[in-house]
Amino acid sequence: MSSAIIQRLAGYLSVDETRSGEAIASELGCSRTAVWKHVEGLRTLGIEIDAVAGKGYVLREPLEILDREMILAGLNPAVRRGLRGLEIETSVDSTNSALRRLPVEDQHAAVIFAEHQTGGRGRRGRQWHSPFARNLYLSIGWKLENALSELGCLPLVAALATAKALRRAGLKGHKVKWPNDLLLYGRKLCGCLVEVQGDSQGPCYAVLGVGINVRMPASVSTDAIDQPWTDVHSQLPDCSRNRLAVYMLEEMVTGLELFAGQGFAPFEGAWNELDGLRGQSIEVDAGRDTLRGTAVGINESGALLLDTGEEILTLYSGEVSLRKTEI
């Protein structure tokens, strides 16, 4: 089944109205037999579709398909003009991988969204659960003149852009967790993955990937995800994925342009305002060592500051977990 058919069928089916096989066949320009195959194809992607005898097909839960033209029309004109391209894929291994397959000179200001990922990734190779048309999966490429050593704070830039986009959508209570996560009342809401290539002294090409849990299916088992999670829908039932996509692009582009011109310094205050680790007792897996102490913020380079009781350590990488209480 082609990507175009998947998109059209998913967009045509409704939670409020039964669509007959005949009506679907007319909409898609195919046979009734093909309709059944296409419906089964959507079911394999995790979409719950009921067949009502004598009437047709109906969705069990609402489904909003990403609309390229709607997203482009909603963008600030300056942001829209600055994009090299915007593509919406039905299914990819991961949006980061899809964007990195472009020639490196074509990656700057290129954007890829996907409805589904077969190999969505988080930090340290963790799998990112990516059901079809439920969440927001996107990557944006950006060329930076900075030296490679100056780009370790890009995950923080991506996390802050995401936090601002969610705030514009009406979400409250979310916090950033160093270096690249967003939490909502202690549960993971979003993750960012940044991959960089280039010369040690610049220029460099960064691909910034973001996955946001917007409306996770009720059928998702807690065993499928290795940590407590939540979604935007739990607080904002009417949140539009297309509108959130607009906010994400505007905030990502604005943040990357600011970082390219001024470095991380302008972001330090915003991070401290949203810092969900500050004052918490944490453990940091730093590779060979496990460090324990109290998080006391970040420095002007985006590094985590850890008060061990004997000294304040400056950490540029590591896996953070709370020691006693959740955020």
What are the angstrom distances between the C-alpha of 60 and each of 74, 76, 131, 217, 275?
A: 29, 35, 15, 10, 38
User: 264 and 151 in contact (C-beta within 8 Å)?
Assistant: no
Those residues with Cβ within 8 angstroms of residue 114's Cβ, 6 or more apart along the chain or in another chain: 88, 89, 90, 91, 92, 94, 95, 98, 130, 137, 138
- Of 152, 146, 118, 121, the residue nearest 132 (C-alpha): 118
SS3 209: strand
Q: Can you read off the two tokens belonging to residue 120?
A: 């969505």
Helix, strand, coil % in the chain, rounded to nearest 5:
35, 25, 40
d(CA 197, CA 104): 9
**For the packed helices 21-28 and 32-44, what is the interaxial angle rounded to 10 degrees?**
90
d(CA 152, CA 298): 13
Q: Give the number of residues written for the chain.
A: 327
Please give the single-letter amino acid code of residue 301.
Answer: S
Cβ neighbourhood burial of 158 (10 Å; 0-12, 13-18, 19+):
buried
Q: Can you read off the two tokens belonging to residue 116?
A: 């589904």
CB atoms within 10 A of CB 26: 11
Phi-psi region of 221 (alpha: psi -120 to 50; beta: other; left: phi over 0): beta
Q: Can you read off the two tokens belonging to residue 138?
A: 């996107």
Q: Catalytic site residues?
A: 123, 188, 323
Q: How far does CA 324 lie from the centroid of its chain?
A: 28
Query: Which DSSP state fits 245?
Result: H
